[in-house]
């Protein structure tokens, strides 16, 4: 059986330890940067009501523009969490208006 032998009698492990330390430091820096960017991004439910209302109004107008041009609005809606949240609120409001109208008609 043949075994691999270090013929040069060098300490190879020390060289790799230095490289591993550098990668560990780079990973820590990258993780810190990612955490900072995650903290900067606010989800729609964490924003103020005023920001959400402005967002909902803009989405409402864009959706009507898509509908009148006979384009598919679904890719636009699912592009970001803000648009998804705003569209959900619009559908909830429309549903509530239908319920109120149906109760008033009866």
Sites in the chain below the pLDDT cut of 70: 1-20, 22-23, 39
Spatial distance between the Cα atoms of 105 and 43, rounded to a whole number of angstroms: 39
Maximum CA extent, the chain: 94
Two tokens, residue 36 = 């900072």
**pLDDT at site 13:** 57
Spatial distance between the Cα atoms of 94 and 102, rounded to a whole number of angstroms: 12
**pLDDT at site 1:** 47
**pLDDT at site 17:** 59
CA nearest 59: which of 34, 28, 27, 81? 81
Spatial distance between the Cα atoms of 89 and 56, rounded to a whole number of angstroms: 8
**pLDDT at site 89:** 94
Count helices and strands in the chain by DSSP H and E runs: 4, 0
């Amino acid at each position: 059986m043949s075994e691999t032998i270090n013929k040069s009698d060098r300490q190879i492990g020390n060289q790799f330890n230095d490289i591993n330390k550098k990668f560990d430091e780079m990973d820590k820096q990258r993780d810190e940067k990612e955490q900072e960017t995650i903290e900067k991004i606010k989800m729609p439910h964490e924003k103020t009501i005023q920001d959400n209302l402005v967002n909902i109004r803009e989405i409402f107008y864009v959706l009507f523009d898509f509908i009148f041009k006979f384009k598919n609005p679904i890719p636009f809606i699912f592009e970001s969490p803000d648009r998804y949240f705003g569209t959900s609120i619009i559908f909830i409001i429309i549903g509530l208006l239908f319920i109120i109208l149906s109760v008033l008609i009866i």
